[in-house]
Amino acid sequence: MTANRRAFLKSAGLFMAGMSGAAAVSAMPTARPEKFDESFDVVVLGAGGAGLTAAIRLAEGGKKVLLAEKLAFCGGSSLICGGGVAVTETDLQKKAGIKDSVDTLYEDIMRTGGQLNDKAVVRAYAEASPAYYTWAMKHGMVLNTENLSQSGSVPRNLSVNTQKSIDAWTKLAKKLGVDLRTNTKGERLVYDAEKKRICGVVLSSKAGTRTVEAKDGVIIATGGFARNKALLEKYVPRMKNASTICAMGCDGDGLKMALAYGADVADMPYIKATFAFNLKATSIRDACWVFRDGAIVLNKEGKRFCNEEISKKDIGDYVLDQPDAVAFNLYDSAIREDAITMDESGGSVTYSEKKGLVLKGDTIEEVAKKAGLDPKVVRETVDRYNEDAKTTGVDRDFGRKHLVDISGKIRPIEKAPFYIFPATAVLISTYCGVKINGKAEVADVFGDVIPGLYAAGEVTGGFHGRSYLGSTAFGKALIFGYIAAETILKA
Q: What is the pLDDT of residues 369-394, one digit of tens each?
A: 999 999 999 999 999 999 999 999 99
Q: What is the pLDDT of residues 327-367, one digit of tens each?
A: 999 999 999 998 886 554 456 888 899 889 999 999 999 99
Quote the CA–CA distance of 372 and 357 in Å, as a whole number.
14
End-to-end distance of the chain based on CA atoms, in angstroms? 19
Mean pLDDT over 253-265 rounds to 96
Q: How much is the mean pLDDT over the chain?
A: 91
Q: What is the pLDDT of residues 125-169, one digit of tens each?
A: 999 999 999 999 999 999 999 999 888 899 999 999 999 999 999
The DSSP 8-state label assigned to residue 23 in this structure reads: P
Residue 489 has pLDDT above 70, yes or no: yes
Q: What is the pLDDT of residues 164-180, one digit of tens each?
A: 999 999 999 999 999 99
Instruction: Please report the pLDDT score of residue 75 as a whole number.
Output: 94
Residue 13 has pLDDT above 80, yes or no: no
Cα distances from 4 to residues 20, 169, 182, in angstroms, run 27, 42, 38
Identify whether the C-beta of residue 101 lies closer than 8 Å to the C-beta of residue 144: no
Instruction: Please report the pLDDT score of residue 469 as a whole number.
Output: 87
Mean pLDDT over 31-49 rounds to 96
119 compared with 471, residue with greater pLDDT: 119
Residue 268 has pLDDT above 90, yes or no: yes
Mean pLDDT over 34-41 rounds to 96
Mean pLDDT over 83-98 rounds to 96
Instruction: Please report the pLDDT score of residue 476 as a whole number.
Output: 96
SS3 368: helix
The model's confidence at residue 5, banded by pLDDT at 50, 70 and 90, is very low
Instruction: Please report the pLDDT score of residue 396 as a whole number.
Output: 97
pTM for this predicted structure: 0.80
Residue 23 has pLDDT above 80, yes or no: no
The model's confidence at residue 212, banded by pLDDT at 50, 70 and 90, is very high
List of long-range contacts for 436-440, beta carbons under 8 Å, 24+ apart: 436/121, 436/460, 436/461, 436/462, 436/480, 437/118, 437/120, 437/121, 438/120, 438/121, 438/123, 438/124, 438/483, 439/124, 439/483, 439/484, 439/487, 440/219, 440/480, 440/483, 440/484, 440/487
Residue 27 has pLDDT above 60, yes or no: no
SS3 325: helix
Instruction: Please report the pLDDT score of residue 243 as a whole number.
Output: 82
Q: Give the class (CATH, top level) of 3-269+429-490.
A: alpha beta
Domain ranges of the chain: 3-269+429-490, 274-426
For the chain, give the percent of residues with pLDDT over 90.
Answer: 75
Instruction: Please report the pLDDT score of residue 218 as a whole number.
Output: 98
Instruction: Please report the pLDDT score of residue 342 as a whole number.
Output: 53
The second-level CATH assignment, the architecture, of 274-426 is Alpha-Beta Complex (3.90)
- What is the torsion angle, in degrees rounded to the nearest 10, for the CA atoms of residue 367, residue 371, residue 373 and residue 378? -40
Instruction: Please report the pLDDT score of residue 341 as a whole number.
Output: 66
Mean pLDDT over 40-50 rounds to 98
Residue 58 has pLDDT above 90, yes or no: yes
Instruction: Please report the pLDDT score of residue 28 as a whole number.
Output: 58
Residue 22 has pLDDT above 50, yes or no: no
Residue 17 has pLDDT above 70, yes or no: no
Run of H or E including 41: strand 38-45
